[in-house]
Amino acid sequence: MNEAKRETEALRELAKDLGIDLFGVADLRRLQGMPTGLDGGPAGLTGMFRFAIVLGAQLHKLGKKATGDDHCLFLERAALGISGYLEGRKDRALIVHPEDEFDPVRRLGLLSLKVLAKEAGLGWQGRSLLIVSPEFGPVHRWIALLTNLELETGAPMENRCGDCSRCVDSCPQQALKLVPFADHPERREDVLNVSACRGDDGCLACLEVCPWRPDPLPESIEQARSAEL
C-alpha cells in the first residue's frame, strides 16, 4: 500500500469512528471550469490546496429532535477531529463549513460542498442539484477540509437520475428547470432560481420525492415536513 492510500485509509477509519457515514477525497485540480462557488479558481483556495476531504452525515442519525444546527455541530466536531489528525501530520487544513455563506443573496460560499462531494465520488448531482448517494439518496449534509496531505482521490460517479424528473415536477415554487446535464450544469442558475427556492424555509419537496431517498423518510425530516404544513 502506498503512502497516499495508507493516509486515506487511516482518515477513513477515523471519520468512521467520529460517526461519519460518507467519506471521500476530491482532487481540487479537477474543479477547473466547474461552478464551484465564489472562490477565484487557481488564484484562490483551489490553487492553495490540492485535496478536499469530504465528510457526509445522513440526516436521521442524530434522532428525532435534531435540528439543522445539531447536524452542523456534529459535522463540525468530526471535521475538528480530522483537522487535529492532520496537524499531527504537520499539515494544516481549512474547513469548508456548510453554514459559510459569503454571498447570502446568491447563497454562495467560497467552495460548493456539493461539487466537492460529487468530485469525491460520493454521489451524483441530481436534477434538484442535490447530491444523491446510492446509500442515502439526497438525505445528507456535508462538510469538507482542504489539505495538501497527499491522499488517494475518489472517482466521480455516473449520474443515475435516468428518466426521472420528479424533483423538478414537484417543486411548489417552480424554482427548478429541467435542463439536461450529464455531470453538472454549466451554471447553477441554468437549473435553479435561487430567489424562488424556499429550501431555507423548510421546503423539502425535491428531497422527499426522490426515488433514491431512504424509505421511510427519516423521522426528523417527516417532523420538519409537518412543521412546515
Interface ranges with ligand SF4 (CB under 6 A): 126-128, 132, 161, 164-167, 171, 173, 175-176, 197-199, 203, 205-206, 209-212
Task: Tell me how far the alpha carbon of residue 126 is from its chain's centroid.
Answer: 12
Nearest distance, CB of residue 32 and ligand SF4, angstroms: 25
- What's the maximum distance between 2 C-alpha atoms anywhere in the chain? 53
Q: In the complex, what is the shortest distance from the CB of residue 48 to ligand SF4, in angstroms, rounded to a whole number?
A: 32
186: CB partners within 8 A, 6+ apart: 35
Considering the complex, what minimum distance in angstroms separates the CB of residue 204 from ligand SF4?
Answer: 7
**Complex with ligand SF4: residue 114 or 127, whichever CB lies closer:** 127
CB-side neighbour CA atoms (13 Å) of 217: 18
Q: Which H or E element spans position 80?
A: helix 68-88
> Exposed, middle or buried by CB within 10 Å (0-12, 13-18, 19+), for 84?
exposed
**Least Å distance between CB 73 and ligand SF4?**
23
Shortest CB 214 distance to ligand SF4, Å? 13
- Between 32 and 165, whose beta carbon lies closer to ligand SF4? 165
What is the closest distance, in whole angstroms, from the C-beta atom of residue 162 to ligand SF4 in the complex? 7
Whole-angstrom distance, CA of residue 29 vs CA of residue 146: 12
Residue nearest to ligand SF4 (CB): 126
Nearer to ligand SF4, 60 or 114 (CB): 114
Contacts with 226 (C-beta within 8 Å, 6 or more apart), sequence order = none
* Nearer residue to ligand SF4 within complex by CB, 41 or 211: 211
Within 13 Å and on the Cβ side, how many CA atoms surround 42? 4
Nearer to ligand SF4, 75 or 161 (CB): 161
| Nearest to ligand SF4 of 37, 138 (CB atom) | 138
